[in-house]
Amino acid sequence: MSYKYYNNYGTFNYDPKKDTLVYALGGLGEIGKNMYCFEHDDEIIIVDAGVKFPDDDLLGIDYVIPDYTHLIKNKDKIKALIITHGHEDHIGGIPFLLLQCSIDKIYAPRFAKALIEKKLSEKRRLSRVKITEIDGDSSVKTKYFTVGFFNTIHSIPDSLGILINTPNGRIVETGDFKFDLTPIGKNADYQKMAYIGASGVTLLMSDSTNSEVDGFSISEREVIRSIDEIFKKTKGRLLVSTFASNVDRLSQILKCAYDCGRRVVVFGRSMQNVVEIGLKLKTIDIDEDAFIDPELLNTIPPEKLCIVCTGSQGETLAALSRIAGGTHRYVRIIPGDTVVLSSNPVPGNAMSVTGIINQLTRCGATVLENTTLASLHTTGHASKEEQKLMLQLIKPKYFMPMHGEYKMLKMHAETAMETGIPKENTFVMSNGDALVLHEGEVYRANTRIQTDSIYVDGNDISGLSTSVIKDRKILADNGMVAAVVCIDSRSNKILCRPGIVSRGFVFIKESQTLLKEAEIMVYEALKQAMKQKVTFGDLKNTIRNTLEPYLYRKTNRNPIVIPVILNHRDAMRKNKGE
């Protein structure tokens, strides 16, 4: 089978036996569910398998994952799943993927490996999946691919970039990265990146999250200096909230507390899991005696106590929200408390964070946020100048921005052009679009891989259809109306006037006239319809066709109309006997 691919100079035939295909099932045009695939002949290598957390309009949805249909169809081709680091948008989809595709070889850096094993241990069927630990010196080889690694800096330990040698050229996939000249943990492999660039790179795929941010990001060490100063000056109880995924930050916060003689209690499941793994791997290097059980909180003087918790984004059920609202089991704000928010609000969360700050302040706490005068947060993603540095180190012939919304990808492509990459050699792609590597050149494929967003509700990984999401939105906006009808199917007659039940549509006490009129209209329509033989489906359509336009005409709202048909008991017995 052959496909077509083309560049600005013509159209070519893609030979699956000889050429290499590169495509994303998630991570392009969005923040989250990163999943990048490299395919040659009968082999596929997958890099990362993440989830995306749902927007507010996806009601009741827990996660959004990529559509794995292409991988399921080609599951015998999958030779390895390689993980760059341990954030949920890169590892959160692994349990869902493994339930649908058997993957024999999973490779992950140390901290990510521990997080994945913790995640899989909660799924009995997946608890025995073996994961091989990798680092900057590791190598993974298959028939067609040879994969190497280099250390990068991110907000979680053991973050890796990837070099993939294919029969048609060399690809570098950066993973999430930034450049920090005074890092908290391991430094980036600048020399290895420069050597890879000097050896020749066909295609660079690079993190685009902060492509709109000018300059260099501030160092993590500068943030820790600010936090350390707060710890030394604060006399009362300290509460610190940050991203649980920012392990380096969390480690330093705990160390500041320990060095200042404060005992620590941790709230929030994700935070507790990260601390547990960090202590086990010595990434968090403080004495375990520094931690106390929540039941002992009231036995420690305020000036000797530090509470570390989730909820820096104003999440309703997170620990900080419950503390601010006075509903937390162990902690209530008392005048004199200092709350440190070591994060910036993610777009869309600003109002929630402001609400939490107001609640905390009303209770008597002093709330400290990240400002230009107090550096309490820095990003884990490269800003524009750092992206330029990566481009200059790797020196790719072709460039594909990844990990970002469309405007981020577009701006990163423009940054690449500023560093000397020709416009025709940059590719701003979407999920499912494919690039072809052919004898050291890269072309845009004239084919698409099947991909979509799958909505995960609870433990159901089959994916909710868009119609279900639409129904939930209608219920949230307009409510529902149920029409309960009693009939006798033996005589094909309606036994009494229908009953109308409303929930979330109108205030019933003030809308009795509306509902009575609706009952009469449905009753008359059903009597007319039942003058001839009808099915239950016909009756339901009659109810909907009568109620929906009437309710919209009266209220300008479209509730979900649910017909409920109750058949006479004797008729049901007769039908059952027949």
Which of the residues are catalytic? 207, 381
Which tokens sit at 64? 């959004």
Q: Which residues of 36-55 are buried (b: 16+ CB within 10 A; e: fewer)?
A: bbbbbbebbbbbbbbbbbbe
What three-state secondary structure class fits 94?
helix
Q: How far apart are CA 471 and CA 474, in angstroms?
A: 5
Which tokens sit at 385? 């100048």
Closest listed residue to residue 180, CA positions, set 161, 204, 152, 156: 152
First to last CA, the chain: 55
Q: How far apart are CA 268 and CA 532, in angstroms?
A: 63
Q: Between the CA atoms of 6, 9, 10 and 15, what dihedral angle is there, to the nearest 10 degrees?
A: -50
Q: Residues 6 or more apart from 258 whose CB is under 8 A from it?
A: 264, 286, 287, 290
Closest listed residue to residue 550, CA positions, set 520, 574, 512, 509: 520
The answer to whether 126 and 91 are in contact (CB under 8 A) is no
Closest listed residue to residue 503, CA positions, set 515, 513, 520, 492: 515
What three-state secondary structure class fits 37?
strand
CA distances from 3 to 81, 136, 221, 427, 428 (A): 26, 36, 51, 19, 20
Alpha helices in 200-268 (DSSP H): 220-233, 247-259
* Dihedral sign from CA coordinates of 549, 555, 559, 563: negative
Which tokens sit at 401? 């921005």
Which tokens sit at 494? 């309606």
- CB atoms closer than 10 angstroms to residue 75: 14
The answer to whether 265 and 307 are in contact (CB under 8 A) is yes
What three-state secondary structure class fits 141?
strand
Which tokens sit at 343? 């994060």
